[in-house]
Structure formats: structure tokens, C-alpha cells
Amino acid sequence: MLLPALSGAYGDDAEAIRVGDQRASREVLLSAATALADRIAGAAAVAVWATASMETVVAVVAGLLAGVPVVPVAPDSGPAERDHVLRDSAAALLLVPAASAGTAALAGVRTPVVVVDPAARAGTGRPEPAPESTALILYTSGTTGAPKGAPVSRRAIAADLDALADAWSWTPQDVLVHGLPLFHVHGLVLGVLGALRVGSRLVHTGRPRPEAYAAAGGSLYFGVPTVWSRVCADPSSARALASARLLVSGSAPLPLPVFGRLTELTGREPVERYGMTETLITVSARADGERRPGFVGTPVTGVETRLVGEDGAEVGRDGESPGELQVRGPMVFGGYLHRPAADAESFTPDGWFRTGDIATVDADGWHRIMGRASIDMIKSGGYRIGAGEVENALLAHPGVREAAVIGAPHPDLGQQVVAYVVADAATEAQLIEFVAGRISSHKRPRRVHLVEELPRNAMGKVQKKLLAGG
């Protein structure tokens, strides 16, 4: 069973699932989802207008019960992206909360809309769909064109959640707290389906505000670096997390200063992990193991990784030599929806998935992600420079709050290191000198742009392609 917590074996806790001000027992959730599953059964796929609401949880569970692929749609997606996802996935219905029906965000939608009723009830006992059937069709961010659909099977989700339960010592006694969007792997698969598979309670705070995290009283917290940075900026809220068992960070690298400050305020070293839409979570630090700032851990159960250089040869695990990270395991998807050319580019002939991320791996198997091969590996004057190393050097400056580094075209060097920095009190010259004093001089930024903010997506990842003008 994909969601054992709905089997009735975990009791009838009236607040087992909380989303904002909405509360439901597992029994109530199962009954409402079954009623909706009866309505959508037989559809090729259904889309879900994935707001932070109980209706989204009901709709996703309904699709899983009915064996109908669920397509989460970001409620802040523009009309072009929204319509592309609905059309590309062939979603027969769009499931929406009552609060969203008839709003401007849904204007022009041609897909039939069904309002989700979390108060609906129906008898349970639907047969379990086949493990290899598609559970979710998750769309990538589309940084290199229109978003691509990644079908993820029930078997892949189960394998990944079980591996994470092992890595994080996640049990039914935990209370999971997060406020992440419910249209991505982090917030939906880990943050909702994870709780329903493990049997832990779930508190979704609506938004990931520091004060909401502090008030939730959880034992296990999920956040992205932006969330943890804001928690650190609110010391009283951060200190309230000292009673938590585990703080997990993912979706983007956790800056070293944030790692240190979070540890100082909470007494808990955060656990970092690594994954993608296409692979779910493949690498993580463990609850019962060490934590290394700047590293995302070791492969979870069932996962194999390797590094491959530009020449196609495998790169040694010396902790220094970078290569493209390739993975394989039971949680890796089988290929994109309607994209055979993308599949050919993304998988090696011997079945490894090319992540497109540059990493190093040491002799103990610890992985350090250096960034995207396409934008975070800068080739300047014959040197290969990882943008993340330069960003961490900048963030060590007491006046720097945020930093993003890219390679911009240069007639002599090929590329030059260019930084975009949000700083309270620092000049371009001071920051260049500061970095040159901490890491190799050839890695220093040649230019530093002081900006008010960095462009980010819904998960807090910096959109470097919007900075690429140099």
C-alpha cells in the first residue's frame, strides 16, 4: 500500500493532518478522498490546482486511490504555463478548492473544473493500483524551454520515502512541520505523502513563516535555504526549534553561514539532501550520522552514483575532482512525457540518469554539489571554477546577505566570474578583495553587481538565467 497511514492502523487522531487552519483525521481524509476518487475514476489524468489547502491533499490522495495520474499545477503559474501543463498532460479535469473557482487565475481554462469538497464522504475500500502505474506527473521548471512532464510511479515514490524514513529515522511518533508549496517534490511528495506513508502527523503552516514554524511544536522540519535564512533572522523563533529532532534543508544548497547560524541558535546541525524532480531524493545526510557543512551526504538506500568528466571517463572519488553527477536507483523516473529526444539526452546507454549537476565525491562517499553544469561551472582563463565556492566566500563577508555567481562572456578569459550581491555595507572593490583573500585569486569575481534582491522561483532557487546578462 502506498499510503499505509490511511489503512486504519494508525488511529483516528482528529488533527493528524493540519493545513493552515484546516484539520482532518486520517479517516476523514480517506473518506473525502474516496468520494472524489469515485468521481474521477477512469480519467487519463487529473490536474490539481495545488494551493496550500486541505483540498489539495484530498485531491492528490483521491487520484492515488483511483489510480489516476495526478498533475500538480502551481497556482501562481501564468496562463501560458498553466495551459501548456494541462494540454501536455492530457488532464481530463482540473480539481480546485472552492476558494479558487472563478478567480482570475483560472480565467480562460478550457479543461473542465471540479470543485473539491473536503466534507464529502464515501465508503472506502478501493483496490490498490499496480505499483508500476503512474502516481504523479510532475513538471520541471522549464529553464531551458517549456516545462517537461516527468511521470513518477507509485513504486518510485514508495522506494524513495522508505529510503528517507531510514535515513532520517522518521517514525509515526514524529510530527512533521513545513510550509512548502504543494506542487513540488519537496512539499508534496516528501511533505505530504511522506507523512501519509510513515504515519506521522503533518502540520502544514500555510506559508513557511518563522513564527509559524516556532509555534508548531514539531519534531521534524522541512525547509529550503530561504526559509532557514529567515528563521535565523528571527532568533526567538529559531531557538524554539531546539526541541526538534531533525531540521532538513533541500531544493538548493544551504549557504555555510546559514548552516552555522542555524546550528548555533537551535543546537541542531541541519541535515542536507539532494534530489531532482526526475529522481526524487537520492543523496542525504543521515539522522544518526555526521553532518558536513556544504555537503549533501551519501546515497540513500538503493541508489548508486558516479561522476563523469567531459571526456566521458569516470572521475575519481578524491573529494576534489569535479564531474557530472549521474544516478540510478528505484526512485528514478523512466523518461519524460512525449519527449523521446529529451530521454536520449538524459539517460546514458547503460541506464544512468544525467543530472546535469557538477559534484565532487570523497572516499567516504560524501557528495558536494557545485552547481549546474550549464551555468555553475565557469571556465575562465583555463581554470574550472565552481560558482558555489565563490558564493560561499562572498557569504562569509559580514555585510553580505545573498550572493549569486555566474560566468559572463569575456574576450580574453572566455568567461569571467561575475557576482550579484545583496549587501548591507560593502563596495565592489571590498568584496573582490575579500574573496581573493579567502580562495584562490583566479576565482575572485571580476565584477560585482550590488542589487536589492535576487530573482527566485517558488522554491527559493535563484534564477541565474535572469542574471546572465553579466
Q: pLDDT (tens digit, 9 = 90+) per residue, 277-327?
A: 999 999 999 999 999 999 999 999 999 999 999 889 999 999 989 999 999
Looking at 173, 190, 207, the residue that finishes a domain is 190
Q: Answer positive or negative: Cα dihedral of 311, 444, 450, 258.
A: positive
Residues 6+ apart with CB under 8 A from 387: 370, 371, 375, 376, 377, 378, 404, 405, 406, 407, 417
Domain membership flag for residue 345: no
- Residues (pLDDT < 50) of the chain are 143, 470
> Which whole-number Å values give the CA distances from 255 to 260, 317, 407, in the listed order?
9, 23, 20
Domain membership flag for residue 241: no
Domain membership flag for residue 352: no
Q: How does DSSP classify residue 347?
A: B
Domain membership flag for residue 301: no
Entry field: residues in the chain = 470
pLDDT of amino acid 145: 62
pLDDT of amino acid 450: 95
Q: Quick check: 294 and 346 in contact, CB under 8 A?
A: no
Domain membership flag for residue 268: no
Domain membership flag for residue 336: no
Looking at 167, 190, 213, the residue that finishes a domain is 190
Give the whole-angstrom CA distance, residue 293 versus residue 285. 10
**Domain harbouring 415, CATH code:** 3.30.300.30
pLDDT tens readout for residues 430-443: 999 999 888 878 88
Phi and psi of 421, rounded to 5°?
-130, 135
pLDDT of amino acid 84: 92
pLDDT tens readout for residues 94-144: 999 999 998 988 999 999 999 999 999 999 888 999 999 999 999 986 545
Which residues form the domain of 19? 4-190
Helices 387-395/256-266 angle, 10° precision: 50
Give the whole-angstrom CA distance, residue 222 versus residue 225. 10
**Domain harbouring 62, CATH code:** 3.40.50.12780
pLDDT of amino acid 459: 67
Domain membership flag for residue 329: no
Which three cell numbers, joined as nine digits, stand for 432? Answer: 573582490
Domain membership flag for residue 389: yes
Looking at 156, 190, 224, the residue that finishes a domain is 190
What is the count of structural domains for the chain?
2
Output the CA torsion 38→39→41→42 (10° steps).
150
